[in-house]
Amino acid sequence: MDFSLSPEQKEMYDLAIKFAKNEMIPFAAEYDEEGTFCEKQIKKAWELGFVNTCIPEKFGGNGFTLLDAVTIGEALSYGCMGMYTSIMCNDLALTPIVVGGSDEQKEKFLRPFTESPKLASFCLTEPGNGSDAAGIKTTIKDGGDHWILNGQKMWITNGGYADLFTVYCTTDPELKHKGICALVVDAKSEGVSIGNKEDKMGQRTSDTRAIQFENVKVPKENMLGSPGDGWKIAMKTLDHSRPLVSSIALGGSQRALDLASQYAKERIQFNVPIAKHQAIQFMLAEMQMKIEAARLLIQKAAWQADQGIQNTIAASSAKAFAADTCMQITTDAVQIYGGYGYSKEYPVEKLMRDAKLIQIYEGTSQIQRLVISREVLK
Amino acid sequence: MNIFVCVKQVPDTETKVQPNGDGSFIETSSIKWIMNPYDEFAVEQALLVKAANAGSTVTVVRVGGVKDTEALRTAMAMGADEAILVEAEDNLDSYSIAKALKGAIEKSDKTPDLILAGKQGIDDDCLQVPQVLAEMMNLPSVAVIVGFEQNGETVTVKREIEGGALEVYEVKTPCVLATNKGINTPRYASLPGIMKAKRKPMQQLTLADVGVSADDRRVKYSDFQLPPEKPPGKKFDAMDEAEQQKVVSEVVGLLRTEAKVL
């Protein structure tokens, strides 16, 4: 067993942390307050190769492993969880093409993302279907040489800026899992309408929208696999994306710990820095313990995916554990900062708001437990 | 053009430096190393010159420990073509380092047209190696440059002097130039750059290979100590005007006699 990152992975981490400190942290508070979309950061991140880590070398990508990607993800999320959600969104949206597309589709749909900083969105959730993903109501009908797409998608990350959507839809809602299809849809197609930017509690720099499809004509060759393959493709995508999403929680947790321990050394109460009080020491120790455990889980889930080993248990464990950990650590960081922590003048309340979303998106912490228990009870 | 860049690997600026057990150097076992920040300007300048002169190569040279090679790898990830690493202790003196750099440059299969280096290492702040190297190689040198313009066989460089004024020099190549902050904005290494750097050649040499022996050492560290802790400052609370007059003259007196800053 070897727990060390490769020299290249260490360099990737260092580069990403440098980027986080220089290009993300200085803008994070303002973007959060104003709800400004982090377009500049995404463009710069794309130039340095941080975006589209899932695209294989054969189609113009950098040939990263998932372990590389989560290493980068942790560092960038240290800068801002909201910005990284928008940076990694392409991976979520393009992975269905990587895992379910033909070589021709990969060449056609993935290559343009390596040539310019385009964005893509993953469209699974609907107004009435979140955790019950197989109950989707967005439908396609055969229109001869094309599909006709109708329905509404909800909470779509980067929805207002995307060039391409990967849309999950069904030939017949009665078929549940068996009827689901994965479709690549050009965002500029006639009949696509984009809702207003959602006014969210946290991760406010990240763009989140509702998308409406009304009799949208989609070329037949834009379907990934065959009708009914969509569920399998979505599940494979999630096995891949869960470690990556978990790395958002990890980066945010590490930032909260670093800020809290720094502050604890500076803040004087009862004539000593509060770091001298055991109550604070125990909180910091708890944070460190959980961060270390989350990092190992995430790395294992990513490593398993890279080895081609079924990683469902590790990936769902990583997601639930890292997200819940991040929520607790950021809450405790606010506690250590006390009144100052509750003020927007200091950076920790934003971390707490950003963290909450990670327990919800990409499968709630409850759904992850459902997935894990299903595997345990098999 | 054959461009050489001398880089140093220094402890990360956030490192809490501790003397080692016998005080001969700092404790290096758990240090995170980075490329000396002033050398980043030199690497960037080399890459800019390379881009303007088709067919150029950039070779980065470092003298120091071989356990970590961050500085050379970063330079190659930024775009340098190859690296030479001369194995040595990390606490050599400027003379030995300059001699080792000269040996390494002369041993390579390229004749230098331009040698760049950061003006100083941020660890020991000696500001010596580029000038010593130029002297040893019998090349012209300008240090602390903030401007660079190439006109064929000569370069026009600017250096900042007291009061913010600029000196302008015209230098014939080959020459040794030591870069300061302000000359350019170093690029980030990119992720594809990091992957490519893996496949770029890094030649490893010993001090003997480059003609340096223990006798070349002119300066040896005898003791490393942390600075004494600062005594706490004096505080004066809010007061009425009469009291204030008294206290102000007292403070001025102390600044004269005790702190000796007036």
Residues from chain A that touch B198, judged by Cβ atoms under 8 A, are: 8
Q: Is A337 on the interface with B (CB under 8 A)?
A: no
Whose CA is closest to A315, among A299, A329, A293, A291? A299
CA angle A109, A110, A116 (to 5 degrees): 105
| N-to-C CA span, chain B | 54
Q: Which of residues 28-87 of A touch B (CB under 8 A)?
A: 47-50, 62-64, 72
Q: Is B227 on the interface with A (CB under 8 A)?
A: no
CA dist A247 and A88 (Å) reads 10
pLDDT score, position B239: 75
CATH 2.40.110.10 boundaries in chain A? 120-227
Q: Closest-CA residue in chain B for A48?
A: B190
Task: Decide if B194 and A63 are in contact by the 8 Å CB cutoff.
Answer: no
Per-residue tokens: B27: 């404790």
**Which tens digits make up the pLDDT trace of A199-240?**
999 999 999 999 999 999 999 999 999 999 999 999 999 999
CB count in 10 Å sphere of residue A115: 8
pLDDT score, position B247: 84
Higher pLDDT, A55 or B237: A55
Per-residue tokens: A368: 């992850």
pLDDT score, position B248: 87
Residue entry with tokens 């000269």: B102
Cα A361–chain centre separation: 8
**Which tens digits make up the pLDDT trace of A254-289?**
999 999 999 999 999 999 999 999 999 999 999 999
pLDDT score, position A164: 97
pLDDT score, position B147: 97
Q: To which CATH superfamily is domain A7-115 assigned? A: Acyl-CoA dehydrogenase/oxidase, N-terminal domain (1.10.540.10)
Distance from CA of B167 to the nearest CA of A (A): 32
Higher pLDDT, B17 or A42: A42
Q: Which of A74, A126, A349, A362 is catalytic?
A: A362
**C-alpha Rg value of chain B to the nearest Å:** 23
Helix (H) or strand (E) holding B34: strand B33-35
Whose CA is closest to A109, among A184, A169, A211, A187? A184
Helix/strand/coil for B31: coil
CA angle A347, A350, A352 (to 5 degrees): 115
CA dist A234 and A115 (Å) reads 26
CA dist B55 and B51 (Å) reads 9
CA dist B49 and B79 (Å) reads 12
Per-residue tokens: A69: 């990607």
Task: Decide if A19 and B188 are in contact by the 8 Å CB cutoff.
Answer: yes
Distance from CA of A155 to the nearest CA of B (A): 30
Residues from chain B that touch A64, judged by Cβ atoms under 8 A, are: 191
Residue range A19-34: average pLDDT? 97
In which band, very low, low, confident or very high, does the pLDDT at A133 lie, cut at 50, 70 and 90?
confident
Residue range A315-322: average pLDDT? 98
Task: Decide if A64 and B198 are in contact by the 8 Å CB cutoff.
Answer: no
Q: Is B71 on the interface with A (CB under 8 A)?
A: no
CA dist A100 and A138 (Å) reads 20
| N-to-C CA span, chain A | 28
Whose CA is closest to A95, among A267, A265, A239? A239
Q: To which CATH superfamily is domain A120-227 assigned? A: Butyryl-CoA Dehydrogenase, subunit A, domain 2 (2.40.110.10)
Mutate to test the interface with A, among B34, B76, B194, B200 (most CBs of A within 10 A): B194
Weakest mean pLDDT among A3-7, A15-19, A110-114, B97-101: A3-7
Indicate the average pLDDT of chain A. 96
Is B187 buried (19+), middle (13-18) or exposed (0-12) by CB count in 10 A?
A: middle
pLDDT score, position B240: 79
Residues from chain B that touch A49, judged by Cβ atoms under 8 A, are: 190-193
HEC assignment per residue over chain A: CCCCCCHHHHHHHHHHHHHHHHHHHHHHHHHHHHCCCCHHHHHHHHHCCCCCCCCCHHHCCCCCCHHHHHHHHHHHHHHCHHHHHHHHHHHHHHHHHHHHCCHHHHHHHHHHHHHCCCCEEEECCECCECCCHHHCCCEEEECCCEEEEEEEEEEEECCCCCCEEEEEEECCHHHHHHHEEEEEEECCCCCEEECCCCCCCCCCCCCEEEEEEEEEEEEHHHEECCCCCHHHHHHHHHHHHHHHHHHHHHHHHHHHHHHHHHHHHHCEECCEEHHHCHHHHHHHHHHHHHHHHHHHHHHHHHHHHHHCCCCHHHHHHHHHHHHHHHHHHHHHHHHHHCHHHHCCCCCHHHHHHHHHHHCCCCCCHHHHHHHHHHHHHC
Residues from chain B that touch A43, judged by Cβ atoms under 8 A, are: none
CATH 1.10.540.10 boundaries in chain A? 7-115
Of chain A, the percentage scoring pLDDT greater than 90 comes to: 97
Quote ipTM for the complex.
Answer: 0.81
Residue segments in chain B with a per-residue pLDDT below the cut of 50: none
CA dist A243 and A251 (Å) reads 12
Report whether B56 contacts B25 (CB < 8 A): no
pLDDT score, position B68: 83
CATH 1.20.140.10 boundaries in chain A? 231-377
Active site residue A375: no
Length of chain B: 262
Q: What is the DSSP string of B95-141?
A: HHHHHHHHHHHHHSSS--SEEEEES--TTT----HHHHHHHHHT--E
CATH architecture of residue range(s) A231-377: Up-down Bundle (1.20)
**Which tens digits make up the pLDDT trace of A190-207?**
999 999 999 999 999 999
Task: Decide if B192 and A62 are in contact by the 8 Å CB cutoff.
Answer: yes
CA dist A26 and A11 (Å) reads 22
Task: Decide if A12 and B191 are in contact by the 8 Å CB cutoff.
Answer: yes
